[in-house]
Amino acid sequence: MKKFVREFKEFINKGNVLGLAVGVIIGGAFSTITTSLTDDVIMPIVSIFLGGVDFSSMSVALPTFHAVAEDAAPNTLNYGSFISAVINFLILSLVVFCIVKAVNRAMDSARKKEKEAPPPPPEPSAEEKLLAEIRDLLKNNRSV
């Protein structure tokens, strides 16, 4: 059991797992924001141009092929909710695309800065090091 707990701690402490968890939580919160944007802001504006049609109430009654009680809810195809979901998806995917594009641009500029930095001067060869030692020794002998 101790080994299992230790392995689980190692798994959780890996950066990828924590990053994924944060991404899922933020994605869920962002999804509610885009759903509200679609349902409460965009769809009413779109309905203005369509004569005040409420998309959430758009549906088609489907026929029934068997006897149904009179108080039963009608079987409907709610395509208005589907249209809202498609618009919500398009907004969410557009925002994710813009975020990924911005991150890629930032990564590319960081890579360019790394490439533009001049390489460090080359190390002197063994022969150059030896000649420098001889020169220094000769200087020291003259000054004495």
What is the three-state SS of the chain? CHHHHHHHHHHHHCHHHHHHHHHHHHHHHHHHHHHHHHHHHHHHHHHHHCCCCCHHHCCEECCCCCCCCCCCCCCEECHHHHHHHHHHHHHHHHHHHHHHHHHHHHHHHHHHHHHHCCCCCCCCCHHHHHHHHHHHHHHHHHHC
pLDDT band at 143 (very low <50, low <70, confident <90, very high): low
* pLDDT score for 68: 67
* pLDDT score for 84: 80
pLDDT at 77 over 70: yes
pLDDT tens digits, 26-76: 888 888 888 888 888 887 887 788 777 777 778 888 887 776 667 677 788
pLDDT at 15 over 70: no
pLDDT tens digits, 93-121: 888 888 889 988 988 888 887 777 777 88
